[in-house]
Each structure stands twice: as C-alpha cells, then as structure tokens.
Amino acid sequence: MRKGFFARLAVVNIRKNKQIYVPYILACLFNVAMLYMMLFINHNAGMKTIRHSGDVLMITTMGVGVIVIFSFIFLLYSNSFLMKRRQKELGLYNILGLEKKHISWVMMLENLFSALISFVGGILVGILGSKLALLLLLKLIKVPASFGFEVSVPAIRICLEVFGAIFVLILLVNIRKVYKTNPIQLLHAQNTGEKEPKAKWLMAVAGFICLFIGYYIAITTESPLSALALFFVAVVLVMAGTYLLFTAGSIVILKLLRKNKKFYYKTSNFISVSGMIYRMKQNAAGLASICILSTGVLLLLSMTVSLYFGMGDIMVNRYPFDTDAQISGISQEQSEQFQKVFAQAIEDYQVPAEKTVTETYLEIGCKQGKNGIMIGQAYSYSEDGNSVDLYTIRQSEYEKLTGEKTDLHDGEIFAWYPSERETDTLKIDDWDFAVKKWLEKAPLSAMTNLVSNMAAIVVTDSDFEYIDGLRTKMYEGLDAYEAGKDLTVHLGVDIRGSSEEKIRYGQAVYQALKDYCHSDGFSENTIVIGGVRQSEYETYYVDNGSILFIGIFLGALFLMGTAMIIYYKQISEGYEDQGRFQIMQKVGMSRREVKGAIRRQILLVFFIPLVMAMVHISMAFPLIRRLLLLFGMANTKLYVGCTAGTVLAFALVYGLIYSMTARSYYKIVEKA
C-alpha cells in the first residue's frame, strides 16, 4: 500500500469520529494534567522547607495513588465505549479488504496520535495549572506563597510512564478484540437484536440485603473507633448493593410495574417502562458507577469542608484553654508541686491570665457492662463490649473546683454518666454506690475526649483509695503506675491579648512545666501532654488544609468521570434510539409524543443515580459524624450545613452536565 496511507486513514478516522474522540482525548488530557499537578507539588523543593511538610507530602502522595488508579479504570472504560461505537466501521474495513494486521496498525496509529495529543496537551495544561494548584494548597494550609515559574521534569517522566502503560494496555485490548471477532460480527454488532433481560430475583434480593446491612452498620455504630473499623465494610457493602440493584433490582421493579395493567397500559407508561427494561440492561453498570462516583464526590467534599471550617471547634475540643497541660503518673503531693510551678510561672512571666484551672483526678479505662462499670484485667476492656473512661475525683477536689459543699459519706457519690441517669445506684465492680446526686454536666474541664464514652464520680477519700486499689490490681504483674502515683493533674490558663502574645506567654508556662517534669524525683512514667492552642493551629491547618485540597482535587476528578460517563451514555443511547424514534412515528405517535416519552426515560435514567447518591449520603450521615469525632469535630450543625451545601451545589452541576450532554442526544435522535 501507498506510503503514509495508514497514517492518513488514522487521522481521517479521528476527524470523522470527533464526536466521541474529542471528549475521550479531553478526558485523557484532564487526567494527565491532574496527575502532573499533584506530582509537581510532591516534587516541589519549596514544599520540603515548610513546617510539617511530611504530613502534607504524605497526603498528596495518597492523592497521586488515587489519580493513577482512577485513570487506569476510567480510560479503559472510555476506550470500551469507543470500540463499541466503531464496531461497524472496523468490520467494514475488513470486508473491503483490509487485513486484521492492517486494522491493528491503523488502531495503533490512532492510539499513538490520541496519546501524543493527550500527553502534550495535558502536560501544558498541568504546567499552567500547577502554580495555581500550589498557591491554593499554600492558601489552605496558611503558608506564605512565593511566586515563580518552574517545570518539574520528574513529574513529566512519571506521567509519561503511567500514561504510556495505560495507552499500551488500551492498544493491546483493542487489538485482541479485532483478532478475536470476525468481520461479519463487527459489521452487524449494532444491528443484532437483544433479548429481553430476565428478572434475576436472587441478585436483586442480595442487593437489597447488602444495602440494608451497609445502612444498618452506618446507623447503629456508636463508637467512633468502631466506626473507623467498620467504615470500609459499610462502603464495600453499599457499593455491591448499588451495582446489584441497578443491574438486577431495576429489572425486577420494571417487570413488576409491567404486570400492573392499570399502570402499564397508558401511552406514556407503556413506552417508558418497555424502553427502560432494555435501557437498564445496557446501562446498569454505568449508572451504578455514576451513583458511586457522585456519592464519593459528596462525601469527600462535605467531610473535608466541614473539617476545615470547623477548625475553631476542633481546637477548643483538643485544647480547652489557651495553654493546656495534663501531667499523668504522679502522686497527690507531686500534683500540688506542679500546681505551684504553674502558678509561679504565671507570676514570673507576668502572664495576663484571664482564667486558670487546676484539677487532680484518677482516670481508668474500664468496661461498660450491663450492670455498671467493670474495672477488670488491664487492657481487657476494649476486647469486647463498650469501653468507658472513668474519672474519679476526691470530694475535697470537687469542693475546691465548684465551691459546693458535698457532705458525702462512704459509699455515696455524685455521678455524671450519660448512659445511666435514672438509677439510684451505680455499680462499679462489685460495689453498689448510692448516687446522692446526678450531675448535669461533666465536672472536669479535662473531660474533652470525643472518642471514648466517659463517666465521672465524686467520692470520699477512703472510697478514692479503694478505687485506686482496684486500678492497681487491674495492672498486677504489669509495668505500670504504683498505687497513689497514678494521678493526673490538668492545668489550664486562658490568656488575654493577641495570638502572638498567647503563643509567647503560653510557651513559657508550658516549657516551665516540662522542665520541672524532667527534674529529679519523677519516674519515667510521668509525662506531660498538651500545648499552646494558637501555636497548634498551624499544625491543624496543614493537616486539614491538605485534606481539603485533596478533597477538592479528587472531587473535580470524580466529577469529570461522572460527566464523561453521562456523555457517553447520551451518545450511545442517541444512536440506539434513532430507529425507535422512526418506528414510533410510523405506528401513529406524533413527534411531540415520541420526544416526550424519550425525554421521560432519559430524565428518569440519569437522575436515579443522583437520588440514590443522596440516599447513600443520608444513611451514611451517622457513621460519618462519628468518624469526624476522631478528628475532634463535634459540630453537627456545621457538618449538616456543609453536607446540604455540597449536595445542592453538586445537584446544580449535575443538572448542568445533563443539560449539556442531552443536546448531543437530541441532535442524534432528531436526525432520524
């Protein structure tokens, strides 16, 4: 054959199939650009100089991994659509005399041209957008930005390796399909009649069961730690249930509607139900993918946005005071010494203290049993059942903190325990304590743990020693605190002034406590934890800002995937509905009636995934709310607002995508 024939044929093919090739190349280009931008941030020399750069780079590296995996899956899916639309064309080439090796050569050239355009265009877009992406990240993590221009050679190399592998895999898949299928099959593939799909009740029931179990886990899981462990189980179950319901459950429901004669034998319903039975058979997997991608976008954005804008609440939960310190593994005498050092530091550094707190208590990790709180063997409380952190306070300490006279006797307690509010007694191990008063709120400002269940009791000195003895017995034979040297003192101070002043005074006080802890007389078990709230903002802005950046980045990627799947569906169904459009008019239906019937089908098919995604989000709400507690986020109203705003914004974008892609569908159909 004449030199350059195959290359010209490949170019002509791309040009003539621009309606499907252009979106495909744009999708490839977008994926290349996204990967380059993320790699650019990862390999940027300036990122290594900022504080907590390790945390940022760890999060962005995870983003790189997600983009690579998504690109492999999505581009293979996009290619399968291309091949499906071009089956007749490839079969015709074979009939006209081109051998399979010639067709393979043409496809290789088409693939090469697409890859070159995608890669070069993607790298150029990535280079232009990389600085904007970096500036956005630095803005979110509150780091001053430096201006300049640079190109990351390592990022280009990795992009070339990743997408080179993807395009080679796509080429191998396409060539295999050409060699495996005979030309007659290719030529008539699109004209082959379809059998009506069967109602697969077993798969439909399995889908409902998977979805029910996933929803049940999301709604009933109480512990944040359990929520973290069960989150991925629930995700897998919901994904499996979604695919099964779209592939099998939808057919079952449509056939049940068809059996309802009053509903079915109406012009609009007859056409819609009949058409959708075949439409769902072809598009179930794609619609399920749209649903899952939409759910992913909504979850990512709602969680990351609420974490970022809930920063103030998170910091207050972690640090109740501007400067906060908890010293554990000490005796009562050592607690008093730390309180003196704390007061002296405030005086020496002339700290403008607005409020101070000093509180000493005994904290024990226990098991929440059916009949009370069990102080069992060490570390056994978390193996089964629910755990509870028991805070025990001396009567004298409580009176000092509140100014309230307790007048407690041995065996009597004041109690704060949200799980038990109606009883006259509280069982702790084998001892039934008489509850003299149920406290309305937690008696200690140190009780800010959002992850564990908490309980607090105020007891007499002798009962305090008894409970301390139970804790000592709990750790018998283990390297742990001695009895009487297992207390914790919480020291906090709110400081008047600017952020800089709060940091300067707070660091001085906190350092004084740490220095004293390292002096003689303290065991290796004595530790100081806490910090200065204002100085910790930087750390949390780095972590949560990076997470929000990844959420926006991946949200955009998933949204692009959703848009492309919708577009491919519209184009595919447009060509399939051309013939149906003609037949409906020939049997007597007006053009308006036909168009209305088809519009109802399209609207129903493409908005079902959105509705389903909203249901998934609603059911996942309790589980996600408990997961956010692990990050210190307890503001439910903020999360509700962020979720509602995200859903509304996504619905508008989804509707816009549908509207734009629907135009292509109607142009194809109306050519009939």
Q: Which residue has the tokens 């009962």?
A: 463
Rounded to whole angstroms, the Cα distance separating 541 from 143 reads 9
The mean-pLDDT minimum among 127-131, 255-259, 445-449 falls in 255-259
3-state secondary structure of 47: helix
Residue 164 CA to residue 32 CA, distance in Å, equals 11
Look at residue 226 and tell me whether its pLDDT is greater than 60.
yes
Q: Which two tokens stand for residue 144?
A: 């001053």
Residue bearing the bigger pLDDT, 212 or 377: 212
Separation CA 614–CA 649 (nearest Å): 13
Residue type, 390: L
User: Is the confidence at residue 194, as pLDDT, over 90?
Assistant: no
Q: What pLDDT is attached to residue 555?
A: 83
For 92, how many CA atoms within 13 A lie in the half-sphere containing its CB?
A: 6
Report phi then psi at 528, rounded to 5.
-120, 125
Q: Is the pLDDT of residue 262 over 80?
A: no
Containing 65, the helix (H) or strand (E) segment is helix 53-85
* 241 neighbors 207 (Cβ within 8 angstroms): yes
User: Which structure tokens are listed for 220?
Assistant: 């009933």
Confidence at residue 193, expressed as pLDDT on a 0 to 100 scale: 47
Amino acid 523: pLDDT: 73
If one counts every other C-beta atom within 10 angstroms of the C-beta of residue 659, the result is 9
| Nearest Cα residue to 174 out of 99, 81, 93 | 81
Out of 242-246, 344-348, 529-533, 584-588, least confident range: 584-588
Instruction: Name residue, tokens 């191998």.
Output: 172
Burial (CB count within 10 angstroms: exposed 0-12, middle 13-18, buried 19+), residue 477: exposed
Backbone CA torsion sign across 548, 553, 556, 558 = negative
- On whether the CB atoms of residues 317 and 448 are closer than 8 A, the answer is yes
Q: Greater confidence, 275 or 620?
A: 620
The whole-angstrom separation of Cα 263 and Cα 536 is 63
The DSSP line for 419-452 is: T--S-SEEEETTEEEEEEEE-SS-S-TT---SSS
How many Å apart are CA 283 and CA 248, to the nearest integer? 12
- The segment with the largest mean pLDDT, out of 77-81, 391-395, 538-542, is 391-395
Res 248: pLDDT: 78
CB atoms within 10 A of CB 285: 13
- CA 291/CA 561 separation, integer angstroms: 11
The more confidently predicted of residues 265 and 68 is 68
Q: Mind listing the pLDDT tens digit for each residue in 549-562?
A: 888 888 888 888 87
The DSSP 8-state label assigned to residue 595 in this structure reads: H
What angle in degrees, to the nearest 10, is found between the helix axes of 18-42 and 53-85? 170
Residue with the two structure tokens 């945390």: 55
Three-class secondary structure of residue 379 per DSSP: coil
Per-residue pLDDT, averaged over 281-292, amounts to 76
Question: Over pLDDT 70: what percentage of the chain?
Answer: 78
Region 44-55 average pLDDT: 73
* Residue bearing tokens 């051309």: 578
Question: Rounded to whole angstroms, how far apart are CA atoms 76 and 114?
Answer: 14
Return the amino acid letter for 53. Answer: S
Can you give the pLDDT at residue 268? 58
Q: In sequence order, which residues have a C-beta less than 8 Å from that of residue 276 and are 6 or more positions away?
A: 250, 254, 601, 604, 605
Beta-carbon contacts of residue 637 (< 8 Å; ≥ 6 apart): none
Mean per-residue pLDDT, 289-308 = 85
pLDDT of residue 196 exceeding 90? no
Q: Taking every pair of C-alpha atoms in the chain, what is the biggest distance, in angstroms?
A: 106
What integer pLDDT is reported at residue 669 of this predicted model? 67
What does the pLDDT average to over 609-613?
A: 87
Tell me the two tokens of residue 29: 């280009």
Q: Residues 617, 277, 197, CA angle at the centre, nearest 5°?
A: 110
642: tokens are 């962020």
Answer whether residue 582 shows pLDDT above 80.
Answer: no
DSSP 651: H
What band does 422 get if pLDDT is binned at 50, 70 and 90?
A: low
CA–CA separation, 277 vs 264, rounded Å?
Answer: 13
